[in-house]
Amino acid sequence: MRLFLTLLFRNRLAALGAVLLLALVLLCLVVPLLPLADPNVTDTPNKFLRPFSEGHLLGTDHLGRDLLSRLLWGTRLSLAVGVAAAAAAAFFGTLIGICAGYFGGWIDNGLMRLIDMIMAFPYILLALAIVAALGPGMLNALIAVAAVNVPFFARNIRGISVGLTAREFIDAARLSGQGHARIIVTELLPNVLPVIIVAISTTIGWMVLETAGLSFLGLGSQPPQADLGSMLGEARAALIAAPHTLIVPGAMIFVIVMSINLLGDGLRDALDPRLRSGALARPSPVTRIARPAPPPAETPARGVLDLDGLTTRFEVGAQVYKAVSDVSLTLGKGECLGLIGESGSGKSVTALSVTGLVASPPGVIAGGAARLDGVDLLSLPYRDLRGLRGRRIAYIFQDPLSTLHPLYRIGDQMVEAIRVHRKMPLAEARARCLDLLRTVQIPNAESRLSAYPHELSGGMRQRVGIAMALVNDPEVIIADEPTTALDVTVQAQVLALLDRLRRERGLSILFITHDFGVVGQLCDRVAVMYAGQIVEEGPTASILAAPAHPYTRRLIACVPELGGGRRQLAAIPGLPPAVNRLPAGCAFAPRCDRARPDCQRDPIALRVSGPRAARCLYPEEALS
Ligand SMILES: Nc1ncnc2c1ncn2[C@@H]1O[C@H](COP(=O)(O)OP(=O)(O)OP(=O)(O)O)[C@@H](O)[C@H]1O
């Protein structure tokens, strides 16, 4: 709750809306206690008195009634009707939406066609028709306004409920033997509640306006009862002679609707976890770069891809998550470099930082460089960087189902990947795609070109992912756990395929994984990452034979040995540290059986010795 309020009040406009609305609500609550004139007592000799007249702070209306008193009593009524109409519309709309979405079939069909029929009428005409049928009066105006807003809630909630009902947690609830009512109340409702709250907060303003509209037309509150709409209606005739009688209720409607809308926007932002973290705010096509001292734009290349002290952070409110800290790596031509570490160690953020693909906000590249043939990619203008993405550096992701567009055929997506970067006749592009599908050993490649992603198996989709990465003959492929979602036989086939392609095409591969078994099969060298830092680096065979960092040793010990059967599999005790609260010294020290007090004192430098390097004061094997 505290976090919610902090987030809400960080948005100054929402805070202003909340303060105004609170003040109005408090004022409305204490109206009966205030020493106000009777709002309905007429005094025609004193009609149309100007504001600040004696005894009438805001003046009087056409019947000499005190405007301040009528305004406060009218605001009280208008707000109460707006809130009640919103609550009624939300209740019935949610009920219809949840039932339609959850039960589906004829219930969904019947309820939605009913909603369609309501929506087929212009809403103001429908409201007028309802009030005409029920008779003028504030309660009937409330019913009319609530009824015309039910479809808005029903449609929104139904859409969300359809998606949620297909999710596994609902299946799990069904499997546990829960009844429909219980599943709806305990599983579905909590998930749609934030949407309902946001929808209510953004529609109350509308409902206050609609109720005022009906009263303005004489269909809402009846004389002498005041509400803001009827005050406007009565003042219409004196628009020129006594404009204040119109301005006073008009200004109040403006303040109410503005404050509700500002607060509604703030509520939406504070309730949506993605907006909360800034992930959806101003999405930028390239990660924000805030390097204190930009490195030279070009330096002599050590390999095809060089990372020099790359540092990436996530800035979420006052918190700074140091996801990648001072990472330096070199990927040689035709080399496969493994980047290994536990979940959350910063592998993916490192990979995405190379071409500025970390979502910003909240991501910020705070230091270092990512060089392709010596040229710093992060210093390039956006146009040039975009031209490189997918052409000179391509990515293969873990789950091709989420990276392939579900509504386009495989062939069309591959052709698009080519034609984004160069002009090529369609027939030639399709022929190239066909050729690539054969290269990645997809059976019936021709027919697969016109298949949709969901028609392929996981292994096939990953091959398509690899083929897509190859369409522009890139120099570097960054493969982010491409085999994690596959079973071992398909995994072995995909690894063999990547290895073959690398050798045949001279590709350089940065292979991200958390599995030393995979590294052993594919990678020439390996870099081990922990809490955003490289803790060990060197040739794969040498590290597998004699790991220097205790973390590397424990990671290797996690890999089962087929046929060996004697070694005990040891999980690493404890958890990696949160990257927004990293310790001063070695981040692995609290989990390390070799740690001594000085490990936790100061940052530990990466000690380099020949082809190997380790960040440890008391390594398992001394690097000569
Ligand atoms: N939007 C974000 N806001 C705050 N922290 C984030 C955000 N995205 C990532 N992080 C943090 O950055 C760190 C590195 O994440 P990253 O995805 O690179 O890990 P990883 O090693 O690739 O893990 P996995 O193997 O599970 O993909 C993690 O501690 C994560 O919590």
For 352-395, the pLDDT digits (tens) are 999 999 988 889 999 999 999 999 999 999 999 999 999 999 99
Question: What range does the domain containing 218 cover?
Answer: 10-32+56-277
Number of domains in the chain: 1
Distance 321 CA to ligand 1 centre (A): 9
Residue 60 contacts residue 47 (beta carbons within 8 Å)? yes
- Which candidate, 487, 508, 488, 489, places its Cα nearest to that of 498? 508
Residue 532 contacts residue 323 (beta carbons within 8 Å)? yes
Task: Report yes or no on 144 lying in a domain.
Answer: yes
Task: Report yes or no on 241 lying in a domain.
Answer: yes
Q: Which residues of the chain have pLDDT under 70?
A: 3, 272-283, 485, 561-569, 624
Distance 509 CA to ligand 1 centre (A): 21
Residue 565: per-residue pLDDT: 59
Name which residue sits closest to atom 29 of ligand 1, judged by CA. 344
What's the pTM value of the predicted model, to 2 decimals? 0.71
314 close to ligand 1 (CB < 6 Angstrom): yes
344 close to ligand 1 (CB < 6 Angstrom): yes
Residue 351 makes CB contacts below 8 A (sequence gap 6+) with 339, 395, 478, 480, 510, 512
Residue 28 contacts residue 227 (beta carbons within 8 Å)? no
Distance 582 CA to ligand 1 centre (A): 14
Name which residue sits closest to atom 24 of ligand 1, judged by CA. 343
390 close to ligand 1 (CB < 6 Angstrom): no
- Ramachandran quadrant class, 503 (left: phi over 0; alpha: psi -120 to 50; beta: rest): alpha
Residue 256 contacts residue 24 (beta carbons within 8 Å)? yes
Using the 8-state DSSP alphabet, how is residue 366 labeled? E
- Distance CA(526)–CA(538), nearest Å, equals 6
338 close to ligand 1 (CB < 6 Angstrom): no
Q: How many CA atoms lie within 13 A of 187 on its CB side?
A: 22
Type of residue numbered 574? G
Q: Give the dihedral sign, CA 443/445/447/449.
A: positive
Residue 77: per-residue pLDDT: 93
Task: Report yes or no on 60 lying in a domain.
Answer: yes
Distance 133 CA to ligand 1 centre (A): 59
* Position in ligand 1 atom list of the atom nearest CA 319: 4
313 close to ligand 1 (CB < 6 Angstrom): no
Task: Report yes or no on 102 lying in a domain.
Answer: yes
Task: Report yes or no on 409 lying in a domain.
Answer: no
Task: Report yes or no on 237 lying in a domain.
Answer: yes
Residue 278: per-residue pLDDT: 55
Task: Report yes or no on 439 lying in a domain.
Answer: no
351 close to ligand 1 (CB < 6 Angstrom): no
Residue 204: per-residue pLDDT: 86
Task: Report yes or no on 251 lying in a domain.
Answer: yes
- Which candidate, 313, 321, 306, 309, places its Cα nearest to that of 289? 313
CATH number for the domain that contains residue 67: 1.10.3720.10
Residue 16: per-residue pLDDT: 93
233 close to ligand 1 (CB < 6 Angstrom): no
Residue 264 contacts residue 108 (beta carbons within 8 Å)? no
Name which residue sits closest to atom 2 of ligand 1, judged by CA. 314
32-88 pLDDT tens trace: 999 999 999 999 999 999 999 988 999 999 999 999 999 999 999 999 999 999 999
- Give the Cα-Cα-Cα angle 176, 177, 178 (nearest 5 degrees): 100
Name which residue sits closest to atom 6 of ligand 1, judged by CA. 314
- Distance CA(247)–CA(232), nearest Å, equals 8
ipTM of the complex: 0.96
316 close to ligand 1 (CB < 6 Angstrom): yes
Q: Is 80 exposed, middle or buried (0-12, 13-18, 19+ CB in 10 A)?
A: middle
